[in-house]
A and B are shown apart, each in its own frame.
Chain A
Amino acid sequence: MSAALLLVATAVGLALASAAVSLASGAWPSVLRRVGMPLFGLAGLAAFAGGLTALVQGEVVTATLPLGLPWLHWQIRLDALAGFFLVVIGVVSFAVGLYGPAYVRGMEKGRDPLAALGGFSGLFLAGMLLVVLAADAFVFMIAWEIMSLSSYFLVAFHHENSANRRAGFLYLLMAHVGGLFILLGYAVLAGFGGGFEFAVMRSVELSPAWASVVFGLAFIGFGMKAGLVPLHAWLPEAHPVAPSHISALMSAVMLKVAVYGFIRVVFDLVGEVHWQWGVVVLAVGSITALMGVLYALMQHDLKRLLAYHSVENIGIIFIGLGLSLLFLATGHSLLGVLALVAALYHTINHALFKGLLFLGAGAILHSANERDLGKMGGLLRRMPWTGFFFLVGCISIAALPPFNGFVSEWLTFQSALQAWQLESGVLRSLVPIAAAMLALTGALAAACFVKVYGVAFLGQPRSRQVRHARRVPFGMRVGQGLLAALCLLLGVLPTVIVGLLDAIPRQLLGEGLPHATAEGWLWLTPVAPDTASYSAPLVVLLIAVMAGLAWWVWHAGGRAGVQRCDTWDCGFTPPGPRMQYTAPAFAQPIRRVFGSVFAIEEAVERQEDGSQRYRLAVRDRAWNLFYVPVVRAVEASARQVARLQSGSLRVYLGWTLATLLVLLWIIS
């Protein structure tokens, strides 16, 4: 057994051990903090190490486990793609393991069932690791279900609140409908191949029609889990209601497992791709990115806002995957590889900064017990470290240099700008439109995070508990600091990262990106040096030099000092917290510009005491357009079926007998 596989097996074992040990925290609450969460973090570290080893070595390791059915033992396989996703899962889980102990300590005094929290967290991690390792559809589906079911219990953790129970049920329902599509996709592959192993499925030659069926099933199934528009509406309901470190795992990691599944099925198992798929993925990805960020701008619950941003970022990842499919199918394999690398780069970037931001939101929840942006303000002075790390997360997610979010969007743009190489005029004009939507998405994300940071961390506190927020414990700061440092690292050393990612397309598609790293670690040149180059280390160096120069010029001479004074009030009343711009006020111009996208209810109501009250509700149109009709249809068909329910036992027995006869007739 290779070292990489051994490490990953250790990770799964540690995750299961964390789950088992945490069961004891029902009796002794501190067990989860002292043993459960550290084991969880170690599992993450082991997964990270194992994944990185697999990625660097670039070998494919397979193994058969003595589990499962007698004629169908569990197959596992660790290649570069799996290794990369293990790194993504591992690094966020490790940060959560550092952050978690202090976070769950706050719950020890309460009535929350800690045994359930720790137990299902461990199972959840083990499930995600196994999904990535799986080498046959059987293991994949079992692991997928473990992941979905255990995360359901985590979503429904605060089940006293009926809204949370509803969100949990919605999550469970969507997870299973999605799971059904995935199962059908595998069924088609297994039906033609005659076996459940991925190796068998890979060798199947599907006709274009059947391949498209598999693609469609995988796209819907994994897209449902990943939160593609219009299937996304469950995501902003479910992710925010879990405890914050679990929200971080769900948004940062579990969505990526869905991305993994999509890449595995479409790029690896199906093999031969068609450009029409690329168009579909590109269109859906662009719309998802734009809708996600527009709805995020309208949110004032911090965790819900972050969940909508997950929708946006999944959209960006799928833009990269769509471009990749498009270029691969039209024979531009180098560009296809570039787009795939961009998508994978964005995958790990999103895991890092979204994990960081959710942990930051958890820190605010921990110390100020507040999720509503409308009650925050001035938190930077109360929580300087969390404020600093959150700022790093905001800059990263807003895709600004020199942080990591920028690099992956830059790579996506670079591949989109090579669209002139395509032969078809329609495709040539379609790709730039997607690039325009990506640009709009990036600009809107920047606006959104100015709003979040400006309203939450800057200005004056808007409520009493925020005014008295205290610093979070050391462990929580370390967890955030680790992710923030990685955000900067992946932004500054893109050439190294792209060099590592290169192993994935070389294994998967048989081709790498030889030019990207050809000019040394300083220069990232995805296609050729004179086509486009970006030197993040030099940008950072120059920023430092120029800032030092500017600072030195103004400070060396001992110029006039800084005087603290009151805020300028135009000669009227001093500005108070209630005079500040709020989150809805900040977003108002954008709400007005993009008004037709939202279902807005806006009214000024006169209260009984004569005062007036402004009410604003922005609803997701996907509910009315997509979800409500489905619910109505299900209810209508259920009413039809209910006619059978006469209340008479004899009639029921008759139906049972008739069904049995029909079945016997069918199989005979």
Chain B
Amino acid sequence: MTASHWILAAVQALLYLALAPLLAGWLRKVKAWLQNRRGAPVLQPYRDLFKLMHKEVRVAHTASPVFTSAPYIVFVATWLAAATLPLLAVDLPTAAIADIIVLAGLLGLARFFLALAGMDVGTPFGGMGASREMMISTLAEPAMLMAVFTLTMTAHSTNLASVIDFQLTSDFTLRPSYLFALAALVLVALAECGRIPVDNPTTHLELTMVHEGMILEYSGRHLALMEWAAQVKLLLFGVLLVNIFFPWGIAQSFAPAALATGLGAIVLKLGVLGIFLAVGETVLAKMRLFRAPAFLNLALLLGLLGLLSYVILEVGA
């Protein structure tokens, strides 16, 4: 582990921040096209963040220090979780700091403070959003871990770099457990990122808000941090899906050419994922809140089936 590796890791962490609004903008653009609209430019999320950062912050009289510190904690925890996930290259030193369970834990920390911030001011919407978010995450987290455990048991490691290495070096076999895990992880990613059909990121109708309900009171740079954190989380789940299940193209050495290939590959893969997501969000409608448990139970079941099909069918093979 030399200094250059750490610099590369820092660059990758910054790249997460830089790319996150782009994915959100691309998603919106594709959705606009599908709806026969021209839509905002792809770079619009950057402009929104820039604008929010320069606006005055307004904080309710009833807010406590938890409210003003939560955006920083949420942002940093999400960012750190993302930084441990290989984006361009596999064997970066940051990947050893935290494995997939720590990553889930860091996302849990972010969610914990997000929900507390929602309850802090004492408005009904904040409490409603926090309560629903915790219900959804309660069911999503075990499903995510089940899906991930399937992968980690195959690779005999919870280290994401090792899992990707295993994928790249072992012969390609279509494992049934992977299909189950992929399906489960897609469902979980939709729920965790607050996308349709579980939550609607563009709604401001009070009774249907989940994520937006919790950040309703935020303004200025606090809101910018919360929005940015949500975009990083979307990117994180996107990278988790494409880099673990389709790792081809990721740099296995630190040569400039390999890194450039890695960047091109991940942008391409995320672009395709964005199209899939946009199509899904266009053809599906948001579910009623109490349909969400059935949706997530399906994810949990798929994760469990993946795990069982691994331990029963594949372990000796």
Contact = CB atoms under 8 A, between A and B. Distances in A.
Contacts of A533: 96-97, 99, 159
B206 interface: yes
B315 to A, nearest CB: 5
B124 interface: yes
A90 interface: no
A104 B117 CA distance: 35
Contacts of B176: none
B105 A593 contact: no
A538 B308 CA distance: 35
A567 B62 CA distance: 8
Contacts of A567: 60-62, 121-123, 217
Nearest to A533: B96
A240 B111 CA distance: 30
Contact of B96 (A437, A446, A529, A589): A529
Interface stretch (B48-56, B243-251, B273-281): B48-56
Interface in B107-148: 108-109, 111-112, 115-116, 118-124, 126-128, 130-132, 134-135, 137-142, 145-146
Contact of A579 (B109, B124, B138, B308): B124
B152 interface: yes
A414 B149 CA distance: 10
A567 to B, nearest CB: 4
A414 B99 CA distance: 11
Contact of A539 (B98, B120, B153, B158): B98
A566 B131 contact: no
Interface string A624-647: 000000000000000000000000
A458 B145 contact: no
Contact of B97 (A378, A449, A535): A535
B53 A554 contact: yes
Contacts of A401: 98, 102, 105-106, 109
Nearest to A405: B105
A129 interface: no
B77 A459 contact: no
B105 A560 contact: no
A528 to B, nearest CB: 8
Interface in A412-430: 413-414, 417, 419-420, 425, 428-429
A534 B99 contact: yes
B260 interface: no
A413 B303 CA distance: 16
A342 interface: no
Chain B interface size, as a band, is 35 or more
Given A401-B102, A432-B307, A575-B122, A589 B289 contact: yes
A568 B105 contact: no
B300 A436 contact: yes
Given A378-B122, A450-B130, A579-B123, A534 B102 contact: yes
B80 A539 contact: yes
B153 A458 contact: no
B59 interface: yes
Contact of B137 (A400, A447, A451, A568): A447
B311 A523 contact: no
Contacts of B221: 554, 559
Contact of A378 (B54, B62, B115): B62
A563 B225 CA distance: 18
Given A395-B112, A436-B146, A450-B116, A380 B128 contact: no
A531 interface: yes
Contact of A400 (B54, B96, B105, B130): B105
Interface stretch (A471-479, A501-509, A580-588): A580-588
Q: Which of B97, B153, B312 has the most C-beta atoms of chain A within 10 angstroms of its own C-beta?
A: B97
B44 interface: no
Given A538-B97, A567-B123, A588-B131, A417 B158 contact: yes
Contact of B162 (A455, A530, A589): A530
Interface stretch (A7-15, A57-65, A131-139, A540-548): A540-548
Task: Classify the interface of chain A: helix, strand, loop or mixed.
Answer: helix
A437 B307 CA distance: 14
B124 A380 contact: no
Contact of A428 (B132, B138, B146, B315): B315
A436 B142 contact: yes
Nearest to B307: A432
B230 interface: no
Given A436-B300, A570-B206, A532 B58 contact: no
Nearest to A403: B109
Contact of A562 (B59, B98, B127, B139): B59
Given A428-B311, A450-B112, A417 B149 contact: yes
Contact of B61 (A398, A535, A564): A564
B121 A459 contact: yes
A238 B83 CA distance: 47
Nearest to A437: B142
A429 B311 contact: yes
B79 interface: yes
B123 to A, nearest CB: 5
A44 to B, nearest CB: 31
A406 interface: yes
A562 B68 contact: yes
B58 A531 contact: no
Nearest to A581: B127
Interface string A428-462: 11001101110110111011011101110111100
A291 B2 CA distance: 48
B101 interface: yes
Nearest to A569: B123
B79 to A, nearest CB: 6
B217 A400 contact: no
A547 B300 CA distance: 34
A539 B123 contact: no
Interface string B65-96: 11010001101110110010000000000001
Contact of A566 (B61, B66, B111, B315): B61
A165 interface: no
B54 A560 contact: yes
A589 B53 contact: no
Contact of A531 (B65, B123, B149, B159): B159
Given A575-B122, A589-B132, A542 B61 contact: no
A563 B58 contact: yes
Interface string A344-383: 0000000000000000000000000000000001101100
Contacts of B105: 399-401, 406, 410
Interface in B291-316: 293, 300, 303-304, 307-308, 311-312, 315
A577 interface: yes
Nearest to A459: B122
B312 A425 contact: yes
Given A380-B64, A554-B53, A590-B138, A534 B120 contact: no
B220 interface: yes
Given A440-B141, A551-B72, A565-B61, 6 more contacts: A414-B158, A425-B315, A429-B307, A447-B137, A534-B102, A575-B122
Interface of B: 53-62, 64-66, 68, 72-73, 75-77, 79-80, 83, 96-99, 101-102, 105-106, 108-109, 111-112, 115-116, 118-124, 126-128, 130-132, 134-135, 137-142, 145-146, 149, 152-153, 156-159, 162, 206, 216-217, 220-221, 225, 289-290, 293, 300, 303-304, 307-308, 311-312, 315
Interface of A: 377-378, 380-381, 391, 395, 398-401, 406, 410, 413-414, 417, 419-420, 425, 428-429, 432-433, 435-437, 439-440, 442-444, 446-447, 449-451, 453-455, 457-460, 523, 529-535, 538-539, 542-543, 546-547, 550-551, 554, 559-568, 570, 575, 577, 579-581, 585-590, 592-593
Q: Give 4 closest A-B pairs by Cβ, nearest first.
A: A581-B127, A454-B119, A459-B122, A447-B134
17 contacts: A406-B105, A425-B315, A428-B312, A429-B307, A443-B108, A450-B119, A454-B115, A457-B64, A459-B62, A459-B120, A531-B162, A535-B98, A539-B80, A563-B56, A580-B123, A592-B290, A593-B139
